[in-house]
Amino acid sequence: MNISTKTRYGFRFMIYLGMNESSEESIQLGEIADKEEISLKYLEKIVQILKRSGLVSVKRGPKGGYRLSRESRNISLLEIYESLEGGCSVIDCSINGECSKIDKCTTAEIWKGLSNVISSYFSSKTLEDIIIEHKNRNHMFYI
């Protein structure tokens, strides 16, 4: 299973905004693109998806930029993932039960179970959880 570049960059973008949510200032996209080493054009496309999903808000003007639409503790990883990937199903044929052979499929329960594990993990974590884990990991001391 591979996570798309769009989703990986989207998570990095959201984490960056979350790490700076205490600032009163909106964050310019160019700053994030530079710090995260992501193409600005590609990041613009990703941000549009996140904005349409209601996860990001934009402020126009000279001091404009991007912010989380709500606090990071109120944004689940599942919301981010589903907005970028469209769902947690690991195979296309299991989405909405569209496969005509689903009743006879010997592997259907495997993929359904895996999709449920991924969905449960993403549901159990918030953006804030990931930010805290990141900050704690970067402040560890090694002896």
Question: Which pLDDT score, from 0 to 100, does residue 97 have?
Answer: 56
CA distance 90 to 118: 9
Domain presence at residue 80: yes
Structural domain count of the chain: 1
CATH of the domain at 97: 1.10.10.10
Question: Which pLDDT score, from 0 to 100, does residue 71 have?
Answer: 95
What predicted TM-score, i.e. pTM, was given to this entire model?
Answer: 0.86
Domain presence at residue 143: no
Concatenating the DSSP letter of every residue in 7-54 gives HHHHHHHHHHHHHTTTSSS-B-HHHHHHHHT--HHHHHHHHHHHHHTT
Domain presence at residue 128: yes
Domain presence at residue 56: yes
Give the pair of three-digit tokens for residue 109. Answer: 């329960």
From first to last of its 143 residues, the chain has per-residue pLDDT tens of 678 999 999 999 999 999 998 888 899 999 999 999 999 999 999 999 999 999 999 988 887 899 999 999 999 999 999 999 988 777 776 555 567 777 788 888 888 898 899 999 999 999 999 999 988 876 655 55
| Other beta carbons within 10 Å of 122 | 16
Domain presence at residue 18: yes
| Other beta carbons within 10 Å of 82 | 15
Domain presence at residue 121: yes
Question: Which pLDDT score, from 0 to 100, does residue 95 have?
Answer: 55
What domain range includes position 72? 5-138
Question: Which pLDDT score, from 0 to 100, does residue 137 have?
Answer: 79
Domain presence at residue 129: yes
Nearest residue to 11 (alpha-carbon basis) of 111, 136, 127, 91: 127
Does residue 14 contact residue 127 with C-beta atoms inside 8 Å?
Answer: yes
